[in-house]
Structure 1
């Protein structure tokens, strides 16, 4: 296992099992029948956690507001494909997730997706230039059609408390002033 120094992680996230290759904590929604897939979300687990008001990264209760990460389109519409999490866990994801933290990182190719991965109809691989963390007092759990048939979870955030914006400055993801 890679020995990463991650002193600022929330304790419950720091206690998660670590990916042997990268040393990163494995979010609970990225576990698929014992296999780890950082590219896809386990929809069944995401629904269970969201309905039980638990963080999708650390699996601890969401006792207060929930955080959602996405691009400006998600922030504008209020619809998210990534389930709710603690604000501190979302902050950690902004630093640790290579797809988010690195401006030129791209999602893994389809050959790396788990066999039964479901992708929402209309999902785009286009990476946003800005990431928006919305902090909400509540959320609604729903679903949307998947490209391969069936449904995938969708989370609607109607009751925002505030938002935080992050953009790439000199190759580093940095918090910017809220719009």
Structure 2
């Protein structure tokens, strides 16, 4: 039996999102596809770019003011390049515990399902799950279209000036913030 996540402490924006009844999770804005289908596996690239251009959070779709956050592996943080759009820091923090792919050390994406929505990724980006996650808080961001592995174009989001980076790793099966040394 799977226990439902406690949604009582969600950031305001995520708390207003529709909830997937099967999973009991708020539905991120970028996981709703043009046909209305919700797919937690793949990002709606057009929606991601639209939200970023309008200065809206990729998860809750509310306006962002001030610093923005990105969530990805150490390689993404080092390069400052992300396939997921910017978000509120509090929404990124919630994703660390709510998103099964991130929160559970052995959860994997169903890569073959990504093809249902023609999901692809940018050339040079890895589909491999990182062993550590970095929540990067930045003063702004940019975006660009870049070649995809399928020959098309996909959006890439570029982190602005880094204000702080928080690292998270799996310790005894639980994603935990790693203290800076």
TM-score if structure 2 supplies the norm length?
0.93
Within 5 A, what are the aligned runs for 1:50-89? 50-89=52-91
| 1:171 paired to 2:164 | no
Corresponding residue SS for 1:47: helix
> Residue in 2 aligned with 1:43?
45
Q: State whether residues 104 and 174 of structure 2, in contact with CA within 8 Å, keep that contact through their aligned partners in structure 1.
A: yes
Distance 2:172 2:29 in 1: 32
Q: State whether residues 27 and 58 of structure 1, in contact with CA within 8 Å, keep that contact through their aligned partners in structure 2.
A: yes
| 1:6 paired to 2:26 | no
Within 5 A, what are the aligned runs for 1:1-179? 4-33=5-34, 34-111=36-113, 113-178=115-180
> How far has the Cα of 1:161 moved from its partner?
0.6
Query: Per-residue displacement from partner, 1:136-161 (whole Å, max 9, x unpaired)?
Result: 01111112111122210101113111
**Runs of 4+ in structure 1 displaced over 3 angstroms?**
none
> How far has the Cα of 1:114 moved from its partner?
2.4
Corresponding residue SS for 1:35: coil
Q: Count residues in correspondence.
A: 178
Q: State whether residues 37 and 113 of structure 1, in contact with CA within 8 Å, keep that contact through their aligned partners in structure 2.
A: no
Distance 1:178 1:56 in 2: 28
Select between 147-156 and 119-128 the one with higher mean Cα deviation. Answer: 119-128
Distance 2:156 2:82 in 1: 6
List gaps (5 residues or longer) in structure 1.
none
- Distance change >3 Å, CA 4–CA 177, structure 1 → 2: closer
Distance 1:123 1:115 in 2: 18
Distance 1:127 1:12 in 2: 27
> How far has the Cα of 1:112 moved from its partner?
5.3
Q: CA RMSD in A?
A: 1.5
TM-score if structure 1 supplies the norm length?
0.94
